[in-house]
Amino acid sequence: MSHSQRKLHLNAFLYGTGHHEASWRLPETSPERNLDFEHVLNIVQTAERGLMDSVFLADGYVGRSNKLEPFTQLAALASRTKHIGLIATVGTTYNEPFHVARKFASLDHISKGRAGWNIVTGSGSAAHNFGRDEHPEHALRYEEADEFVEVTKQLWDSWEDDAVINDKSAGTRIVGSKVHTIDYEGKHYNVKGPLSIARPPQGYPVLVQAGSSETGKEFAAKVAEAIFTAHQSIGSAQAFYQDVKSRLAKYGRTPDQLKILPGVSPIIADTVAEAKEIENQLFEYINKDGAVKRLSERLGIDLSDHPLDEPITLDGARSTDEVNGNKSRHQLIVDLIQDENLTLRQVINRLGGARGHFTFTGTPLQLADLIESWFLNGAADGFNVMPQIYPSGLERFVDKVIPELQNRGLFRTEYEGRTLRENLGLARPANTSHWPKAVN
């Protein structure tokens, strides 16, 4: 596909008052509205007005995040939107395939084919909320996730596409011979099936993955149709893009069957000076003690007495191999410290903007230039847009950056299809189960 034909894909990552950790302290934001559905709806409708492909809700099973559960929220959003995709994080380690398959099938039916599943294996601190002594080891979690996804696919395929006929004259609602048990027996899961709801409109929800470790990249090449990833430079993004795309052939897949969407976390204003002023205000609002504590815990070294304006040394820091959580994010932070010789204050400020994703401060035109450069030079198929301030950051992106991308022929001027798959240029998967022909 030529550059003139190829179009960007844009996802809006919903995140409370914004992706900057101090955004909640700004006078313009409303942290008290985090559980206010109408507030969230307004943000999602802004993304849809901008013709963005999808919105994304991250999730976890631990901590004091004070946010709504994704399925409940996205089902409500589906009833008040028409085109935008609805992606939710659901972890495999602390769920069962049947529950997840049923919920996503339901969301896909409610939204008429706009559901997406961000597949993660979960965080270690969640183990104690589910009666477990410890979080499973990294490689084992991905092994379980691989099997988990296979079971959910078989459950979605347990109904043939034409199983529901609702033939009033014949008195037949569902053709029983077209609904099948899957009788799955694996190393980690045993599931009889069938699913209790018809095959989703998209066949499967769009499958998204966010891990960038070696295991995560291989899992993505086998399973994922979109990847959310974090990079601090175009060079890093290009290397990741080439690496993951090169792995697809072994699974019988082509590069256009996987969309790679690096995160970009912008502060946008009409002038650079105005944007810098907003950025500096956010820096001032960061809780430095809390940020130092979190960084110390991640690196495994005590930075509490380290001067804020002196470079960090990583003597004694844990290696990525020792990490049983997000390995790729740990390595990104280590590389950032080593490659740029940053002071403790600089690291805190860089991570405060978007937890390791690429941050941008400047004008709409400058951001459009950056997006175009990454897109046309083998670093991205689009972007996971992560405004540092909600809702104003997304409003500025939609009102000022997207029109510029459209003027350059890089982004749609209307939705191409009715489903998330169609808008992402992904085929609806055929039913992979080879059931016996139904006997009439």
CB 248 within 8 A of CB 254: yes
Tokens of 361: 């401060």
- How far apart CA 256 and CA 241 sit, in angstroms, is 12
Was 89 annotated as part of a binding site? yes
Was 212 annotated as part of a binding site? yes
Was 357 annotated as part of a binding site? no
Q: What is the CA radius of gyration of the chain?
A: 22
- How far apart CA 7 and CA 114 sit, in angstroms, is 19
Question: From the centroid of its chain, how far is CA 116?
Answer: 9
Was 236 annotated as part of a binding site? no
Q: Which amino acid is at 79?
A: S
Was 125 annotated as part of a binding site? no
Was 59 annotated as part of a binding site? yes
Question: Angle formed by the axes of helices 70-78 and 37-49, to 10°?
Answer: 60
Omega of the bond leading into 194 within 30 degrees of 0 (cis): yes
Kind of pairing, strands 358-362 and 85-91? unpaired
Annotated binding site: 59, 89, 138, 142, 212-213
Q: Which residues are annotated as a binding site for FMN?
A: 59, 89, 138, 142, 212-213
